[in-house]
Chain A
């Protein structure tokens, strides 16, 4: 774990340096689109009260100065498939955003949805030497969490302390200076395939950019679309993406679970193309303009010209009714929701005090989805849009950009991770000068 600690700390330092310089890029690499935003940090909140916009829920210390999105290329199921194609797509979107912003972006924070994320809840416990929780006790309890075998080639993406307990007082957010004999902590660890991170780093480096942070797309979209109460009392965010559907569960403002269902909107498009015998672009257009999940009698009479350029008049003048489209889409949407249900059941979402579910992502714009989801997932459903942030153009505020917005919030207000704390002295190799320094600092 020490190696991971070093790389994550290096990324964190790079992020801090970028924030110091004031410009950082956000790169959301999805299966259907890649979005890039250029954030400008000014620290003092000078942008406050511009054109009647209030303090933006505490998000006023940064501003979007350039944003662009492009069709994603070379990404399949949230994972980079063709590196060169993805690199070109990243170049396109970064160049466009840079041009809008008028500044050069050197550091980017990226998020990816795929890579088979796996959540682990770890706990650790240490005996307090001084009878009081000190800074390095927190670090040592985090290091004392017994990590299971994550499997070959797995990398830790997030390792967030969720809960601290001193003796039998649990539910502490910040245990420092609490008196007691025993400090225990619960930590949520999210691992994904290490190769995926390696590919991402490679792609971004080939675009002359530095990776200053990496986050899970499910986590980012939950940060943007769950409101503060939902994060505090318990809620799940379901991000309908192109290549997969992200699920993340929040309670007490911490993510406690994240997973990814590997069925997404692209599969719906594919079903339409196969079922109605139309090309993929036509199927995509049918899905976005005429799609739905609840058929009514009127939809039988609403005929849609599918068009085509095969040269065969019969084939090109074909029409389908909207009920046909819905009939193809609905089973697939139901399947996605069933899978989400299984994921939520596996995570024990039924035992949460509040079971608010927020649908976001591009797929959540299917009309009638909330009704269908209410039947499958539970009664408390709403369609969520990302939080407003300063300077973001209106066409980039729809639900499909919630993970990009969440990544911006992650850049501005990162939550504590394991590597934000100093490594305990025991973890350094023996005979290290640093270890001696650390020992002196902790004991004198």
Chain B
């Protein structure tokens, strides 16, 4: 392809300005700025300090106004409230399982808010601790179920003993923890009775002793804790079995064996002293002792334990 060149003077292209070769050297200002930028302090100030300062200043100026601050806090509070009062977080009812009517009532009374309420307002851990302070409650499982149900599964303590002490009569569970107070023994005649100071600390042993006393259970009036150390088994007709501090169950079983073999407790014996297991001692009743004395031609004893003197003369 041939190119036609127009040689007419008017049509000549404007002469190209000679290309000025750019100086590769940085200008003095650019050089100084580059060097300044490579200085660590400037670099840090410009890259971290300045943006942080600007952000802090903007926030500070904006927050300097009282109205804006109030609007900000109100906005945040409103937002939190809006989220918390959503339908999904509402608790509408409370279900309680495994509780007696009295505990049920107390539990409902303990709930700090009126239902329906937001689940954020119910502090389950605090509520649980508060409920556990009730004597009748052994454990409680509190949870908020889907559908807005506050579910409480309560395990109540089961009374197995009655404890008579200076301040009244309490029901105890197997671990010795108080369940509730009763006004009189007749309210729970089916429960065995224990008495004495510190008896609640040894309920396990007491239960074992009551188990071991099977044959004489109808005659058993109760167990008495002596000196927070050992037990006395108290039977009707004023009979008493004193047990050692250690090995009490074994000693009682030995006494039961004696009773089975010789009907020991059916005789006139007031006290069976088993405190020293190697040397059981029994104390006879008054009638038996007088019978023995008369047979030996001795003067009988009176109820006070003194010898009745024969009146001389009329």
**Which chain B positions have C-beta within 8 A of A88?**
23, 25
Expressed in whole angstroms, the minimum distance between the Cβ of A103 and any Cβ of chain B is 6
CA distance A207 to B31 in the complex (A): 8
Name B38-66 residues within 8 Å CB distance of A.
38-39
Assess the A103–B38 pair: CB atoms within 8 A: yes
A103 to B38, CA, bound (A): 6
| Also in contact, A95 and B32, with CB within 8 A (given A70-B24, A88-B25, A89-B25) | no
Q: Are A98 and B24 in contact (CB under 8 A)?
A: no
A378 within 8 A of B: no
Q: Does A435 contact B (CB under 8 A)?
A: no
Given contacts A91-B31, A207-B31, A208-B32, contact A98 B25 (CB under 8 A): no
Q: Is the CB of B23 within 8 A of A95?
A: no
B204 on interface, CB distance cutoff 8 Å: no
B280 to chain A, nearest CB (A): 90
Closest CB in chain A relative to B24 CB, distance in Å: 6
- B38 interface neighbour in A89, A92, A104, A207, Cβ under 8 Å: A104
A102 at interface by CB-CB < 8 Å = yes
Residues of chain B with a CB closer than 8 A to A317's CB: none
Q: Of all chain A residues, which has the CB nearest B25?
A: A88
Task: Please count how many residues in chain B sit with their CB below 8 Å of the partner chain's CB atoms.
Answer: 11
Give every chain B residue within 8 A of A207 (Cβ-Cβ): 31
A89 closest partner in B (C-beta): B25
Q: Is A16 an interface residue (CB 8 A)?
A: no
Min C-beta distance of A441 to chain B, whole Å = 40
Judge if B109 is at the interface, Cβ distance under 8 Å.
Answer: no
CB-nearest residue of chain B to A106: B35
Closest residue of chain A to B26, judged by CB?
A95
List residues 88-131 of chain A with CB under 8 A from any CB of chain B.
Answer: 88-89, 91-92, 94-95, 98-99, 102-104
CA distance A207 to B35 in the complex (A): 10
What is the minimal beta-carbon distance from B299 to any residue of chain A, in angstroms? 115
A-B contact count (CB 8 A): 28
User: Contact at B25–A92, with CB atoms within 8 Å?
Assistant: yes
Complex: how many Å from CA A89 to CA B24? 8
CB of B135 to closest CB in A, whole Å: 72
Query: Does A104 lie within 8 Å of B23, measured CB to CB?
Result: no
Interface residue ranges of A60-105 to B (CB < 8 Å): 70, 88-89, 91-92, 94-95, 98-99, 102-104
On chain A, the residues within 8 Å of B26 by CB distance are 91-92, 95
A residues less than 8 Å from B31 (CB atoms): 91, 94-95, 207-208
Interface residues on A, range: 10 to 19
Distance A88 CA – B27 CA, assembled complex (angstroms) = 8
Given the complex, which residues of B lie within 8 Å of A92, measured CB to CB?
A: 24-26
Report the separation of the CA atoms of residues A103 and B23 in the bound assembly, to the nearest whole angstrom: 24
Residue among B24, B26, B32 with the most chain A CB within 10 A? B24
CB distance from A170 to the nearest CB of B (A): 51
CA distance A32 to B106 in the complex (A): 101
Q: Contacts of A99 on B, CB cut-off 8 Å?
A: 34
Distance in angstroms from B84 CB to nearest chain A CB is 52
Q: Is the CB of B24 within 8 A of A104?
A: no
Residue of A nearest to B35 (CB): A104
Residue of B nearest to A104 (CB): B38
The docked-state distance in angstroms from the alpha carbon of A103 to that of B42 is 12
8 Å CB interface, A326-364 against B: none
Best-buried of B25, B28, B31 by chain A (most CB within 10 Å) = B25
Q: How far is the CA of A241 from the CA of B28 in the complex (A)?
A: 29
**Smallest beta-carbon distance A354→chain B, Å:** 45
Give the chain A neighbours of B28 by CB distance below 8 A.
Answer: 91
Q: How far is the CA of A91 from the CA of B34 in the complex (A)?
A: 11
Residue of B nearest to A99 (CB): B34
Question: Which of chain A's residues have a CB closer than 8 A to the CB of B25?
Answer: 88-89, 91-92
How long is the Cα–Cα vector from A365 to B23 in the complex, in angstroms? 29
- Give Cα distance in the complex from A102 to B40, angstroms: 10
Q: Mark B1-36, 1 if CB is under 8 A from A, else 0.
A: 000000000000000000000011110100110110
Minimum C-beta distance from B27 to chain A (A): 9
Quick one: closest B residue to A101, CB to CB? B38
Q: How far is the CA of A185 from the CA of B151 in the complex (A)?
A: 104
- Best-buried of B31, B32, B39 by chain A (most CB within 10 Å): B31
Q: Please name the residue on chain B nearest to A206 by beta carbon.
A: B28
Query: Residue of A at shortest CB range from B36?
Result: A104
- Residues of A at the B interface (CB closer than 8 Å) are 70, 88-89, 91-92, 94-95, 98-99, 102-104, 207-208
Given A70-B24, A91-B28, A208-B35, 7 more pairs with CB closer than 8 A = A92-B24, A92-B25, A95-B31, A95-B34, A98-B34, A98-B38, A103-B38
Which 10 pairs show the lowest CB-CB distances between chains A and B? A88-B25, A104-B38, A92-B25, A91-B31, A95-B26, A91-B25, A104-B39, A104-B35, A92-B24, A95-B31
